[in-house]
Homo-oligomer: A and B are copies of this chain.
Amino acid sequence: TIYVITPTYARLVQKAELTRLAQTFLHVPQLQWIIVEDSPHKTPLVTAFLASSGLAYTHLHTPTPRDRKLQEGDPSWLKPRGAEQRNEGLRWLREDRRGQTGAETQLGVVYFADDDNTYSLQLFDEMRDTQRVSVWPVGLVGGMRYERPVVEGGKVVRFHTGWRPSRPFPLDMAGFAVSLKLVIVNQDACFDGDAPMGFLESSFLQGLVTMDELEPKADNCTKVLVWHTRTEKPKMKREEALQKQGLGSDTTVEV
């Protein structure tokens, strides 16, 4: 089983993003979607969406503490986004397996899929046989056409990135998967929401694996199978003008 952990938060494009993500996952056999809302409660929109999605899912929630939350107007890179939610997903996975015995309860792969990226179906085939940590290129990330591990003789020897290649693991969240076993054995591995910019992935991977042990996928990291797309925030100028006249869109219509 591939356990996909997705942080998500309420905004105008949320349902659209979840819609196309669910359509991707519906093509993938043996996938469980662990969706974690950045919210003090489960929202009706996500609850209803998941119930009619046709996917196997687990619906969690945890709010990002106020001081760690990006505020309106902050540049998006200022604070890590989704760290607490990914940790909540990890907590649930470990908890769910606690007390279960037998090797098969540790079989599986964990992948962190943000709700706005674009995932090819081939990506899931590539990650399925991850032994410890598998890695591959990510398109359109970090101000680059792609970032990727550089592979020589079947091993990752360095990283192609536009920024601080000396970071322990200069990988985007979308660029690796971890075996469930490794997650369970390393009970304390988690994302450090206070990590400096660009070090969030490293804070999790550092205790789990060494560069030498990384398993390169996607043809020795030569194929881009996932893209760090971002969706524009829709402008609501006309809506606001109409609302002032009492002619705004019906707020009971879910968008």
Tell me the A residues contacting B by CB distance below 8 Å.
12-13, 15-17, 19-20, 23-24, 26-27, 118-121, 137, 139-140, 142-146, 160, 162-163, 222-224, 227-232, 234-239, 241-242, 248-249, 253-255
Contacts and interface: CB of A to CB of B under 8 A. Distances in A.
14 contacts: A13-B227, A15-B227, A17-B229, A23-B24, A23-B121, A26-B27, A139-B255, A140-B234, A143-B234, A143-B238, A144-B236, A145-B249, A224-B255, A231-B232
User: Top 8 nearest A-B pairs by Cβ distance?
Assistant: A162-B238, A143-B238, A16-B227, A16-B118, A145-B249, A230-B232, A140-B234, A139-B255
A241 B160 CA distance: 13
A236 B146 contact: no
B24 A140 contact: no
Contacts of A27: 23, 26-27
A226 to B, nearest CB: 9
Given A162-B238, A234-B140, A239-B145, A16 B229 contact: yes
Contact of A144 (B23, B139, B163, B242): B242
B20 A24 contact: yes
A227 B249 contact: no
Contacts of A232: 229-232
Nearest to A143: B238
A120 B19 contact: yes
A16 B228 CA distance: 9
A143 B235 CA distance: 5
Contacts of A223: 253-254
Contacts of A23: 20, 23-24, 27, 121
Contact of A145 (B26, B144, B160, B255): B255
B230 A145 contact: no
Contact of A146 (B17, B222, B227, B255): B255
A40 B140 CA distance: 26
Given A13-B229, A20-B24, A230-B234, 6 more contacts: A137-B253, A143-B235, A145-B249, A222-B253, A224-B253, A230-B232
A128 B229 CA distance: 31
